[in-house]
Copies of this chain bind each other. A is one copy, B any other.
């Protein structure tokens, strides 16, 4: 077992060698160890100035003219194209807007419609974040399909001629387990079904490869690893080959081929715009656009390498510092199965997290017994990581 001084020295060395270390200065941070960027990303330092311009000049001075002159109208697709390289998508396939839940509904209903009438079953990841399950149940009810909850591991065997669509989480919000997107997507496709991936806990933390792996539809939020701000709008990916068949259950005026034609009959827009609904939420959307600047010149592969190094190091520090049996990792040890968080199961986890926060280490608690620590490679250091494990050990010792 390593000594504290040895791990601290190693943290220092790892930080000195970290090619992403420079990104940290682009965020507003204090002396807190912030390991909750998988819930709410930290504020990029240049965002307040950009928002002030949006509010004072674009809204306050240009007012209605900003829909054209400040590019408000085109924001949903323009910002979608900024997210695209982070999830391995060519331009023109992502639209930003609405919440993740609303986008899950659009994607799943559209998926069922693409699959056609002969397929009457929706498979949903039973370990997923609850909202996906609730929304999937509504989508199944409203399209006359049966919802069948399965674990991702059970998906290959559950697939069949009846399968219309499969909704999966790329990374489990609780355990941090990374599911095998390439092979599961291939299996869904081989069964003739339509895949829908929820990228909330993977986008911005690891390469997703939507185009490369032939994903059909995907959704994700932008306030975690993409640092878009509290409740910033989510996004929807529809691969090029399916866009003409994307039949939205929420055909608002913004998704009309001629939105200002004010026609009585609905005629869907082509491309990513078809995924829009109502008037885009400009303040939050442009905060997100500004926040995405921190990704300029940052390869997702480098982010993934650092993420794994951070979670490896955290697990090592926890093992070194925390008394045996006091906290057990429920996050997979294998890199291929790990997202960018470490979840530790421990007794009295809610109280432990309160104490950690009081001592300057911010993670979060997930019912009933999980301590969740998210590692955002753009601003979390190895020194932060060592300190978090050390403080955790102190709390559990106390």
Contacts and interface: CB of A to CB of B under 8 A. Distances in A.
Contacts of A42: 60, 63
A262 B366 contact: yes
A133 B252 CA distance: 9
Interface string A255-274: 01000111110100000000
Contacts of A51: 51-52, 55, 283
B230 A282 contact: yes
Interface stretch (A5-13, A94-102, A386-394): A94-102
A250 B102 CA distance: 7
Given A99-B252, A284-B284, 11 more contacts: A28-B61, A34-B63, A63-B362, A100-B279, A101-B253, A130-B266, A134-B251, A134-B252, A135-B250, A231-B280, A232-B281
A88 B258 CA distance: 36
Interface stretch (A136-144, A206-214, A300-308, A332-340): A136-144
A28 B60 contact: yes
Contacts of A234: 278
A221 B143 CA distance: 29
Given A36-B63, A98-B98, A102-B278, A287 B43 contact: no
Interface residues of A, number: 79
A231 B282 contact: yes
Contacts of A133: 264, 266
A266 B137 contact: yes
Interface in A221-269: 221, 223, 229-234, 248-254, 256, 260-264, 266
A287 B64 contact: no
A48 B52 contact: yes
A43 B260 CA distance: 24
B131 A252 contact: yes
A66 interface: yes
B251 A138 contact: yes
A322 interface: no
A281 B233 contact: yes
Interface of A: 28, 30, 34, 36, 39-40, 42-43, 47-48, 51-52, 55-56, 58-61, 63-64, 66-67, 72, 98-102, 105, 109, 126, 129-131, 133-135, 137-138, 142-143, 149, 174, 221, 223, 229-234, 248-254, 256, 260-264, 266, 277-285, 287, 362, 364, 366-367
Nearest to A34: B63
> How many copies of this chain sit in the oligomeric assembly?
2
A101 B66 CA distance: 22
12 contacts: A43-B55, A43-B56, A55-B287, A98-B98, A100-B278, A101-B253, A101-B277, A102-B102, A105-B249, A134-B252, A231-B281, A283-B287
Contacts of A72: 230-231
A287 B59 CA distance: 12
Nearest to A99: B278
A63 B40 contact: yes
